[in-house]
Structure 1
Amino acid sequence: MKRRTIIGMLSVFLLMGGAFAQENKIKKANEEFENYDYIDARKIYLNVVGDGYESAQVFEKLGDTYYFNSEYPEANKWYGKLIDSYPDEIEPEYYFRAAQTLKSVGKYEEAKIMVEKFTAASNNSNLAQTQMNNWESFEQLANSQNKKFKVTNITTELSGSDFGPSFYGNNIVFASSSINTEGNKIHDWNGLPYLDLFEAEIDVDGSLKNVKQLQGDIKSPYHESSAVFTKDGQTVYFTRNNYIDGKKKRGKKRLVSLKIYKATKNDDGTWGNVKELPFNDDSYSVAHPALNLEETRLYFSSDMDGSLGKSDIWYVDILKNGSYGEPTNLGPIINTEERETFPFISDENRLYFSSDGHVGLGGLDIFRTSHNDSEGFYAVTNLEQPINSHQDDFGFIVKEKEKIGYLSSNREGNGGSSSDDIYLLTENCNPVIYGAITDAKTGEPLEGSKVYLMDGNNQVVSQGITEANGNYQFEDDMDCEKQYVVRASNEQKEYEPVEKVVMTPQGSMMLQVDLALTPPDCPVNDLGCRLDLQPIYFDFDKHNIRPDAEVELAKILQAMKEYPQLNIHIESHTDSRGNDAYNMQLSERRAKSTLEWLVEKGIDGDRLSSKGYGESQLINNCSNGVNCSEEAHQLNRRSMFIIQ
């Protein structure tokens, strides 16, 4: 009995010793976590879980070590364990994070459940309401692609983190941990070397070449990233860890915050005179600068006091004396309870930024809004796939007039890696021209018709033959926003050929061009026959346009609008009754009223001409002195339309 008691006591002490050991490990992991050393903290948490110990706190923080490094699929795994194992100990924020990570792995129905739980647990916060009320918008985003754009990874050969491009004249400057530089340390947050700024030339295809590091005092032993340059290329604002004059500073939470610095170019091309901007502070971060077009305002991201969320977009005015105004928050149209970051002002004066608080695909998405000085910012717009993905998408810059842009993303596929890469954004040129070739009189499809696509030099780019349904399609060898001619003919049945000038659309867009061929029994220049018009008739001794004539004239109007190169001559006639001279004047009035009807509907008068022929061109034997019915005389009171 005594032996069993001793063994039992030893077992209890061993269990207590194991528990104490795990608690000590967790304490150490928490210290690393609070110092933002996520990689070291993660290793300890994983070791503890591997030993069979678990808790709500361990699952939370383990998930966070992945979430804060944008490794959403792994974060999803641990948030899932948290929610399944400890449903009564979950802070509302973790439902939101779980929803974001579920989006990133394509589990939309499960993500919706997490949003519903987040809404219930957070007392209907603005963030929760936005996510819930706009769930249908998210589903549309998730299931749609903007085919107008193409996104291509241009840093596949670099193995680390590459992000935050900015335009520097005709070059690009970006931050990279991929390129080894002397003295680079490893950052405990993500286990990668510290970032430096590099400059690259833009090749003809938009890719980067001749990469070199920015030289001078702009480099420090810690992070430099996300720069913006003045138009003259002599001044740069950039993001750096809280480090200047050889000293690193920490805030109240021992975090080395981010700050914006300013540097100017030396005569030798290096960067010097580095100065910290006055609205920085050790207690919060200020990062990712952007200039407006006039270079009178500096935008940035910060979590300073007054922020609506974890980070907001702010701005300061750059005053004429070189000082700065007070920081101003852009407000709730732009900023949410989560992260807004990486602002950029385009050459069309649009604000682009990234956010995970507005409705997006998961992680950070890129958004756009326009600005009016008197009315402020308008509602934001998600840039959709393929610009956005289910991972982090940020650091967007664009030259809208040149139709080229760049962005940063840690998306998988397309040559990407789990680290950040820089992607080239171009407009995807893949237009399609299609249509049907038909008989102009019957509307029947014309099988075996030849269809040609010709360029501006009248050279054949592509050709084809219609099938039984008369359809054709061109989808290769075309440029976007370029003029072409579509020409159709059917020589087997002696149809007159017809062609139409078209402008190809931008992107993967489809343009329908139907062509109707004139049957061989119609004179080439007889518009009425080619359009299968009913005659334009007039009442006896009248020149006004009758309602039944307006129906036929509307067909001519449509043809002239559709074919701007079409010019017509109007010929008007009378019957034989009345004085010959009077009939000539009457026919002139009929021709003029017909022309004026078309001009009033918008046709340029230079495209029209008219002439009256009186009774000189009767189409039957109802000449002077012949007794004819009213119906027979009516056939002569007409207008004809000749293609010029």
Structure 2
Amino acid sequence: MKIKNLAYSFLFFCFSITVNAQDSNAKNADKKYDNYAYADAIKLYENAIKKGYRDENILQKLGNSYYFTGDLAQALKSYEELFALNRNQEAEYLYRYSQCLKSAGNYSKSDEILDLFSEKAPLDKRGIIFKKNRNYLDDIKINSGRYEIADAGINSKDSDYGSVLLDNKLVFTSARDTGSIVKRNFKWTNKPISALYAVDLMPDGSIGIPVFFHKKDLKTRFNESTPVFTKDGKTMYFTKNNSINGKKGQSENKITLLKLYKAIFINEEWGSIQELPFNSDQYSVAHPALSPDEKTLYFASDMPGSLGQSDLFKVSINSDGTYGKPENLGAEINTEGRETFPFISNDNEIYFASDGRPGLGGLDVFVSKINNDGSYDEVQNLGERINSKQDDFAFIINSKNRNGFFSSNRENGHGLDDVYRFTEIRKLICEQDLMGTVTDTETNETLPNVTLSLFNEASQFISEAVSDQNGNYIFPNIKCGKKYFIKTSKTDYEIKEIPLAIKRLSGKTTLPIAIQKKFTPLVAKTIVVKATKVNPVIIKSIKVGTDLAKLLHIPMNFFDLGKATIKKSSEPDLMKIVDILNQYPTLKLDIRSHTDSRQSAENNMILSEKRAQSTKNWLIQKGIDGNRLNAKGYGETQLVNRCADGVKCTEKEHQQNRRSEFIITYL
């Protein structure tokens, strides 16, 4: 594996399947495999295969060993043999197989394997994301071509990666063997251990000669990597193998994992090295990144609470130098795969590497905007040329000049991993101007002073526009690739809702809107519901905006839990609505369905929409003209009490939010 994968020793499953009839090579290989000595395990497994021992266990572990050491081409060969021997493999093997197929450029076969993976692991977010975005290669193509890249000029025949800027220097991680440090190899790859190096960045754009970053009091016989510095250059956070007083620290399974350390620059030397308090001997913590205000530290870990093989976390840095409790960035960012190497730009964007999202192969670099409320915008793939069929990671960027560096093990490099420099020539911002003209449906005259409200797919308000004297309106700078709907409002005109989807291309979308004038409604009417077996005689005053469900004391919920089919027991109550619609043939209704906040917002929106349409269809089946009925689901967007996500409420309080409304829109 490339030396970066010392940071992944906590990321992978170790499958313990008893192997029968193996020779000593295979048995010794299992021991090496269990201790993460994958380079040695590969040699022993290959020797066992040459001697005729080719079984499912050997092919699984040989494929994993190649996969974990970043040799996806050899991993692909082993996985293909494995699936030829027995197609019924655990879901994780299907996912790794699909990744290896991508590295060979076989995206169609990879998609087929991902479909099988989704069937075998239907709740795995990696499969869910893939099924929602089957045209991911088209999206990546749109995001591509925005960078000019070049070799950074610092690479060796070994692994060089994880760079960061410090004043006029580039500090990076390297496994190069200069002969000036203890000659020890990292058993994962049998390559020299890594250390920090620095190189001067000259004003003319040239590169100096790499030298050790610090004096030998900080260098040890353990891997150190991926530093990040405070803006004043006085504090450094960095990754190093678990060590206690210069000796190797180990987990319960005798494995040396990774920890984060802090060093202070005093008297021209880095010292006062401290281990961060949320480290552990039982899990790894690695790859630090700082927020622009330096009050939050981001990192990768497989600590308890992780969603996948490695997740991104954040922790607050208090003014007194203490730390808060680490927080998982959540499912908006993390998957069941590997999320690692975070970087936070001065524009408050989080860049990170992941193999859990649709990409070109191996680790791809992704980005998401961190909003003011701490939520995250849509995660996007940076596209080619930053991403390739191999591992791409450790992306950093200067937000002012749009220059930066990243690491990759792509083809035609100098060593196992290489550092590349880049210039971003076009930002990853896709926006459109949504515009059009509002007219009268019958006369085709343009209509000024029409209020238009823009909502997103979850019925959340985005912005408002008013048509000018020529009936023209505009919503500037709305995000591409999203679904929206516009709601119109004008005195004496019907309310109209228009759904639309914005393409993933910058530019403009023109949407003409025609609205219909309504007859002047009566301010109020007195209605009499005729006596039936289920309805007493009711005399009530109604007007536009009246909710018939409340007026007639109809129970709010007509559906079983999680279902969208009207219960038989609810039909007598709904017949009251039919009675009124039959008595007053001009009356029109807005059928609105709402849910409580339990379950996801997306699922609640889908369920409420199905229920509203089901109610409309039921009324149509009873002879009501569908043109008199408008149906819409609102999910959990219009709660009537405090019972939002995370708020503990009684069943009765949740019931208040699970309701159907029948709002009169025309008399």
- The TM-score, its normalising length taken from structure 1, stands at 0.61
Q: Is residue 52 from structure 1 mapped to residue 49 from structure 2 by the alignment? A: no
User: Could you tell me how far 1:69 is from its partner in structure 2?
Assistant: 1.2
SS of equivalent to 1:115: helix
1:33-72 paired onto structure 2 within 5 Å: 33-72=33-72
Counterpart code for 1:51: K
User: Could you tell me how far 1:197 is from its partner in structure 2?
Assistant: 0.3
Q: Which residue of 2 aligns with 1:151?
A: 149
Counterpart CA distance in 2 for 1:82 and 1:31 is 21
User: Could you tell me how far 1:208 is from its partner in structure 2?
Assistant: 3.2
SS of equivalent to 2:210: strand
User: Could you tell me how far 1:20 is from its partner in structure 2?
Assistant: 7.7
Q: Which residue of 2 aligns with 1:160?
A: 158
Counterpart code for 1:384: G
User: Could you tell me how far 1:242 is from its partner in structure 2?
Assistant: 0.2
User: Could you tell me how far 1:206 is from its partner in structure 2?
Assistant: 4.6
Residues 185-237 of structure 1 deviation map (CA, whole Å, 9 limit, x = unaligned): 11110121000001111134655323211224321101000000111111100
Counterpart code for 1:72: L
Counterpart CA distance in 2 for 1:224 and 1:165 is 13
Question: Contact 1:158/1:179 (CA < 8 Å) preserved in 2?
Answer: no
Residues 515-572 of structure 1 deviation map (CA, whole Å, 9 limit, x = unaligned): xxxxxxxxxxxxxxxxxxxxxxxxxxxxxxxxxxxxxxxxxxxxxxxxxxxxxxxxxx
SS of equivalent to 1:62: helix
Counterpart CA distance in 1 for 2:154 and 2:220 is 26
Counterpart code for 2:356: G
Residues 343-368 of structure 1 deviation map (CA, whole Å, 9 limit, x = unaligned): 11112121111111111111111111
Query: Residue 417 and residue 118 in structure 1: after superposition, are their counterparts in 2 closer, same or farther (change >3 A)?
Result: farther
Residues 264-309 of structure 1 deviation map (CA, whole Å, 9 limit, x = unaligned): 1131x22111110000000000000011111111100000000000
Question: Contact 1:59/1:78 (CA < 8 Å) preserved in 2?
Answer: yes
Q: Which residue of 2 aligns with 1:426?
A: 423
Query: Residue 197 and residue 318 in structure 1: after superposition, are their counterparts in 2 closer, same or farther (change >3 A)?
Result: same
Question: Contact 2:39/2:69 (CA < 8 Å) preserved in 1?
Answer: no
User: Could you tell me how far 1:314 is from its partner in structure 2?
Assistant: 0.4
Q: Which residue of 1 aligns with 2:211?
A: 212
1:438-517 paired onto structure 2 within 5 Å: none
Q: Which residue of 2 aligns with 1:367?
A: 366
Moved more, 252-261 or 19-28: 19-28
Residues 571-593 of structure 1 deviation map (CA, whole Å, 9 limit, x = unaligned): xxxxxxxxxxxxxxxxxxxxxxx
**The one of 165, 170, 173 aligned to 1:172:** 170
Counterpart CA distance in 2 for 1:262 and 1:308 is 27
1:287-298 paired onto structure 2 within 5 Å: 287-298=286-297
User: Could you tell me how far 1:253 is from its partner in structure 2?
Assistant: 2.1
Question: Contact 2:124/2:336 (CA < 8 Å) preserved in 1?
Answer: no
1:265-304 paired onto structure 2 within 5 Å: 265-267=265-267, 269-304=268-303
Q: Which residue of 2 aligns with 1:477?
A: none
Query: Residue 145 and residue 316 in structure 1: after superposition, are their counterparts in 2 closer, same or farther (change >3 A)?
Result: closer
Query: Residue 84 and residue 206 in structure 1: after superposition, are their counterparts in 2 closer, same or farther (change >3 A)?
Result: farther
Q: Which residue of 1 aligns with 2:188?
A: 189
Query: Residue 264 and residue 124 in structure 1: after superposition, are their counterparts in 2 closer, same or farther (change >3 A)?
Result: closer
Query: Residue 145 and residue 187 in structure 1: after superposition, are their counterparts in 2 closer, same or farther (change >3 A)?
Result: same
Counterpart CA distance in 2 for 1:253 and 1:338 is 23
Instruction: Among all aligned residue pairs of Structure 1 and Structure 2, give the percentage whose two residues are the same amino acid.
Output: 40
SS of equivalent to 2:274: strand
User: Could you tell me how far 1:111 is from its partner in structure 2?
Assistant: 0.7
User: Could you tell me how far 1:138 is from its partner in structure 2?
Assistant: 3.0
User: Could you tell me how far 1:155 is from its partner in structure 2?
Assistant: 4.2
Q: Which runs of 4+ in 1 moved over 6 A?
A: none
Counterpart CA distance in 1 for 2:20 and 2:57 is 16
Residues 119-157 of structure 1 deviation map (CA, whole Å, 9 limit, x = unaligned): 12223422212123322113552x567333111122475
SS of equivalent to 1:79: helix
Counterpart CA distance in 2 for 1:163 and 1:101 is 22
User: Could you tell me how far 1:311 is from its partner in structure 2?
Assistant: 0.6
1:321-400 paired onto structure 2 within 5 Å: 321-400=320-399
Counterpart code for 2:419: I
Query: Residue 207 and residue 287 in structure 1: after superposition, are their counterparts in 2 closer, same or farther (change >3 A)?
Result: farther
Question: Contact 2:145/2:383 (CA < 8 Å) preserved in 1?
Answer: no
Counterpart CA distance in 2 for 1:190 and 1:317 is 35
Residues 65-105 of structure 1 deviation map (CA, whole Å, 9 limit, x = unaligned): 111111111111111111111123x1111110000010011
Counterpart CA distance in 2 for 1:124 and 1:300 is 26
Question: Contact 2:155/2:414 (CA < 8 Å) preserved in 1?
Answer: no
Q: Which residue of 2 aligns with 1:253?
A: 253
Counterpart CA distance in 1 for 2:106 and 2:209 is 42
Counterpart CA distance in 2 for 1:411 and 1:157 is 13
Counterpart code for 2:312: I
Counterpart CA distance in 2 for 1:212 and 1:156 is 10
Counterpart code for 1:354: A
SS of equivalent to 1:129: helix
User: Could you tell me how far 1:254 is from its partner in structure 2?
Assistant: 1.7
Counterpart CA distance in 1 for 2:201 and 2:219 is 23
Question: Contact 1:155/1:162 (CA < 8 Å) preserved in 2?
Answer: no
- What residue ranges of structure 2 are gaps of 5+ in the alignment? 1-18, 427-505, 507-667
Counterpart CA distance in 2 for 1:34 and 1:68 is 13
SS of equivalent to 1:210: coil
Instruction: Output the aligned Cα RMSD.
Output: 1.9
User: Could you tell me how far 1:168 is from its partner in structure 2?
Assistant: 1.0
Query: Residue 212 and residue 418 in structure 1: after superposition, are their counterparts in 2 closer, same or farther (change >3 A)?
Result: closer
Counterpart code for 2:50: G
Counterpart code for 1:35: N
SS of equivalent to 2:22: helix
Counterpart code for 2:257: S
Q: Which residue of 2 aligns with 1:81?
A: 81
User: Could you tell me how far 1:52 is from its partner in structure 2?
Assistant: 1.6
Query: Residue 323 and residue 30 in structure 1: after superposition, are their counterparts in 2 closer, same or farther (change >3 A)?
Result: same
Question: Contact 1:144/1:385 (CA < 8 Å) preserved in 2?
Answer: no
Query: Residue 207 and residue 130 in structure 1: after superposition, are their counterparts in 2 closer, same or farther (change >3 A)?
Result: farther
Question: Contact 2:154/2:210 (CA < 8 Å) preserved in 1?
Answer: no
Counterpart code for 2:173: A
Query: Residue 92 and residue 189 in structure 1: after superposition, are their counterparts in 2 closer, same or farther (change >3 A)?
Result: same
Counterpart CA distance in 2 for 1:310 and 1:208 is 37
- What residue ranges of structure 1 are gaps of 5+ in the alignment? 1-18, 430-508, 510-644
Query: Residue 118 and residue 200 in structure 1: after superposition, are their counterparts in 2 closer, same or farther (change >3 A)?
Result: same
Query: Residue 62 and residue 304 in structure 1: after superposition, are their counterparts in 2 closer, same or farther (change >3 A)?
Result: same
Counterpart CA distance in 1 for 2:265 and 2:246 is 20
Question: Contact 1:292/1:298 (CA < 8 Å) preserved in 2?
Answer: yes
User: Could you tell me how far 1:428 is from its partner in structure 2?
Assistant: 5.3
Counterpart CA distance in 2 for 1:417 and 1:131 is 33
User: Could you tell me how far 1:249 is from its partner in structure 2?
Assistant: 0.7
Q: Which residue of 1 aligns with 2:518?
A: none
